[in-house]
Amino acid sequence: MHDTHEHKWIPPTKFHLVTGTWTMTAGAVANTIAMSRAQADASTTITIPVDVPMNDGPDKGACLISIDVYWEVLTAAADAVDALIHKVTLPVTGAAIGAPESLAFAYDTGHDTAGERLTLDQHSMTLTLTTPLWVEDDVVVQVQVIINAAATSDITLFGARANYTYRLG
């Protein structure tokens, strides 16, 4: 099996949200889930675990290509929005977890400038890895989105989608 069009939805309830008061809410569209942050002139870090199949064989399992992140900014534009992609090596018994390694990526054309990422809008931002990554059984991948909100920015997260090639055998 070699499928180049595999996807994995990551709901906002799996995100790790740092700073601010976040509330799980029903999305503005019926039957959707969202996480909303109370208005505050502050920066917040959102860590998204990229949960795709792992494999210890060479060039098998999931080859991560890109991650799409879905959110909206209402009322007032954010002051800044930036992203990072990290690979973390899992430890063997008695060892510390590895230091996060930053992975190179490109923003999609609608988010490749700082000004495009902070606008009042519903955002679907794609982060494409410069070098696609075969996710081995001893690493995890995490995306961090850092949003520096204005005093009256309403930030709502809808989820993320990992896009990958899946190969077995």
Residue 94: strand pairing partners: none
pLDDT tens for the chain, residues 1 to 169: 878 899 999 999 999 998 888 999 876 677 788 999 989 999 999 999 999 999 988 888 899 999 999 999 999 999 999 999 999 999 988 899 989 999 999 999 999 999 999 999 999 999 999 999 999 999 999 999 999 999 999 999 999 999 999 988 7
CATH number for 74: 2.60.120.260
Q: Assess contact for 107 and 85: CB atoms under 8 A.
A: no
**Alpha-helical regions (H) of 13-159:** 114-117
CA-nearest of 51, 25, 22, 18 to 37 is: 22
What is the domain count for the chain? 1
Residue 41, C-beta contacts closer than 8 angstroms, at least 6 positions apart: 149, 150, 151
Domain with 9, as residue range(s), is 2-167
Residue 141 pLDDT? 97
Pairwise CA distance, residues 120 & 143, whole Å:
22
Residue 20 pLDDT? 85
CA-nearest of 10, 147, 155 to 83 is: 147
SS3 167: strand
Residue 59, C-beta contacts closer than 8 angstroms, at least 6 positions apart: 134, 167
Pairwise CA distance, residues 60 & 2, whole Å:
9
Residue 23 pLDDT? 92
Length of the chain: 169
Pairwise CA distance, residues 91 & 105, whole Å:
25
